[in-house]
Amino acid sequence: MTHPIIEVTNLQRTFGANRAVDGMTFHVEPGEVFGLLGPNGAGKTTSVRLLNGILPPSGGTMRVFGLDPATQGELVRRQTGVLTETPSHYERLSARENLEFFGTLTGIPAADLPRRVDELLSFFELAHRADDKVETFSKGMKQRLALARALIHQPPLLFLDEPTSGLDPEAAQQVNDLIANLGRRNGQTVILATHNLLDAQRLCDRVAILNKGRILALGSLKELARKLWPVTWVDVTLFNGASAESASVSIQAIRGVRQVSVGKDSLAIQVEAEEIIPRVVSALAANQIPILKVNPRDYTLEDIYFALQAGEA
Amino acid sequence: MNWRSIWAIARKDLKEVRQNKAAWAPAIIVPLVFAVIMPLAFIILPQVIPVEDVQRELGDMDTLIRNMPPTLKAIFDDKSLEQMFIIYMAGFMLAPMFLIMPLMFSSVVGSDSFVGERERKTMEALLYAPTSDMELFLGKVLAAVLPAIGISWLTYMVYALVVNAASFPLFGGLWFPLAPWWLMMFWLTPALAVLGISATVLISSRVKTFMEAYQMSASLVVLVLALMLGQVSGVLILGFWTVMLVGLMVWMVDAALIYVAVSNFKRSSLVAKL
């Protein structure tokens, strides 16, 4: 049985009257890509700072690798890598000098450091500019260097705060591919703080949707969709000439089918759960009704997010 | 305490300062003026102008020499007018100027290190590094203090060479440094370097830019100007015991400032200012 890498219970952080984190409770399993989603000021960056022990909490408990970041921050940070929202570098130093500096701080032995730096520079396609000052780099290159910096000590837990912010689509794609591979290839756990819902939908196993420091919903896309919309719709398009009316009659008696709307050559069927859909298809086939397409309606993270934020408003 | 991290922070800060012309330009110009140009001017002057003109300067020198303890007064015994003028200028009047250097250098590097890091938005990544607050603080303090002391000592050495070489025809031997200078080098200079950085750390929590921090910490030079005035007026002569006492007072102020600076240097306060 694996233990959660992060366990947070009723976590709170206030700045004066502002509750930046207001009673968050969640856990993150090893190897997960876990999203913290929300608008600016939702508490994403503050949560990352709390979990890395650079801010003390105002209340609640948190454990990262079983350690308390508030009192054992240094030990926690040895095992975490953080890509900050504004990934600034020492612009007057070269890419290599930047990585060597952070590699030293993270405790990589001096004998191993040059090899590790070269590996990362090659992996992030920066080797040809390794000794150039960072101030001459493009934004995409700087973002890749920031990722290399976060990964230099091969931390088992990575915090990525808006990793594709300000990148062109090609650079964003590269970064997203890398994040997708981190968990799969290295077994690293990733906390992705973002308001880019498409990225989150593509990358995250589970998400916590935040607003004003509180978690509005927590779970996988499917779980969240089911919580919000307990019924599922499936659209069935019939082959040319088939009678939608007779098709409707043949499925209405199936248990779990709640409602059928008949179109010209299509049906919109409301079912209690996705498991009902194969039964619907079997019934249509048994009644010799030719089917062109079966299309269960998917909810996107965007649908869920805006439904939740609208409910909050 | 992880000294490898501490040295890495200090080295990184120094590399950065080296790239900042506004920070290192004074580190070259000031020692050049203090160690070469000024002593040459004061040593060559009495060798090329009439002795009578030097004699007129004796009025000021008299005040200084009259107030000196006997051990220092003995330095002037059996000296010619020209020699007395050179000892007066190179051995006493220019001495307080050298105290500007450790203050200035440590506050320049300190401003770049503490405030510049925040200004350039590189502080956050550093705060996420697995170092303790004390290691971060020490790394940055060493980056400021060590070169300040090193450059000051180097300037003293060059000054001693220039003074002895330029005055050799008149003295026929080496006469510099005088006894109080050794104490200035190894007691007062390190104390002032620490004063520069500890004041800068405190200032850095209240300002936003490198230039603001630099300008505010530069106001510490007033202390050195006070010593200069004291010496010119003959009230405070930088003799052995004066230097010892001033050094002790500066070290005591350093201890208090460092205590406050360390107490305030917390990640949680630093991150709040990002």
Shared domain check, A18 and A158: yes
Select from B14, B131, B109, B116 the least CA-distant residue to A104: B131
Shared domain check, A168 and A66: yes
Contact call for residues A142 and B125 (beta carbons, < 8 A): no
| Mean of pLDDT over chain A | 89
B67: which 2 tokens?
């107030």
Shared domain check, A18 and A133: yes
- B128 with A54: Cβ contact below 8 A: yes
Provide the residue count of chain A: 313
Q: The domain that contains A166 carries what CATH number?
A: 3.40.50.300
Closest CB from B9, B19, B128 relative to A82: B128
Name residue B181's amino acid: W
Shared domain check, A173 and A36: yes
Select from B169, B175, B168 the least CA-distant residue to B92: B175
Quote the CA–CA distance of A229 and A249 in Å, as a whole number.
Answer: 25
pLDDT at B219: 76
pLDDT: which is higher, B185 or B60 = B185
Chain B nearest-CA distance from A183, in A, is 21
- A89 with B122: Cβ contact below 8 A: yes
Mean pLDDT of A72-83: 94
B229: pLDDT strictly greater than 90: no
- B125 with A149: Cβ contact below 8 A: yes
B74: which 2 tokens?
């003995």
Chain A nearest-CA distance from B237, in A, is 45
Radius of gyration of the CA atoms of chain B, in A: 21
Domain boundary among A225, A258, A275: A225
With respect to residue A308, please indicate whether it lies within any of the assigned structural domains. Answer: no
Shared domain check, A84 and A184: yes
| Chain segment A36-77, per-residue pLDDT in tens | 998 888 899 999 999 999 999 999 999 999 999 999 999 999
- B19 with A82: Cβ contact below 8 A: no
Shared domain check, A29 and A119: yes
Q: The domain that contains A292 carries what CATH number?
A: 3.30.70.980
Shared domain check, A248 and A164: no
The H-or-E segment that residue A97 falls in is helix A95-105
Interface with B, mutate which of A90, A96, A113, A134 (most B CBs under 10 A): A90
Quote the CA–CA distance of A175 and A128 in Å, as a whole number.
Answer: 19
| Chain segment B71-130, per-residue pLDDT in tens | 777 777 788 877 888 888 888 878 888 888 888 888 888 888 888 888 888 989 999 999
Please tell me whether the interface predicted TM-score (ipTM) of this complex is above 0.85. Answer: no
- Any idea where the domains of chain B sit in the sequence? 3-272
- A92 with B125: Cβ contact below 8 A: no
B193: which 2 tokens?
């370097």
Quote the CA–CA distance of B110 and B149 in Å, as a whole number.
Answer: 13
Quote the CA–CA distance of A221 and B139 in Å, as a whole number.
Answer: 46
Mean pLDDT of A23-43: 91
Shared domain check, A205 and A92: yes
Domain boundary among A164, A191, A225: A225
Shared domain check, A35 and A139: yes
With respect to residue A107, please indicate whether it lies within any of the assigned structural domains. Answer: yes
- A55 with B267: Cβ contact below 8 A: yes
Mean pLDDT of B184-200: 91
pLDDT: which is higher, A193 or A223 = A193
With respect to residue A196, please indicate whether it lies within any of the assigned structural domains. Answer: yes
With respect to residue A186, please indicate whether it lies within any of the assigned structural domains. Answer: yes
Shared domain check, A253 and A105: no
| Nearest Cα residue in chain B from A75 | B130
Range of the structural domain that residue A192 is part of: 6-225
The count of domains in chain A is 2
With respect to residue A97, please indicate whether it lies within any of the assigned structural domains. Answer: yes
With respect to residue A304, please indicate whether it lies within any of the assigned structural domains. Answer: no
| Chain segment B124-169, per-residue pLDDT in tens | 999 999 999 999 999 999 998 998 999 899 989 999 998 888 888 8
Closest CB from B9, B122, B271 relative to A55: B271
Quote the CA–CA distance of A185 and A183 in Å, as a whole number.
Answer: 6
Contact call for residues B35 and B63 (beta carbons, < 8 A): no
Shared domain check, A259 and A213: no
Q: How many other β-carbons are positioned within 10 Å of the β-carbon of residue A115?
A: 10
Shared domain check, A177 and A249: no
The H-or-E segment that residue A236 falls in is strand A232-238
Quote the CA–CA distance of B112 and B209 in Å, as a whole number.
Answer: 9
Cα angle for residues A218, A223, A229 (degrees, 5° grid): 110
Interface with A, mutate which of B6, B123, B128 (most A CBs under 10 A): B128
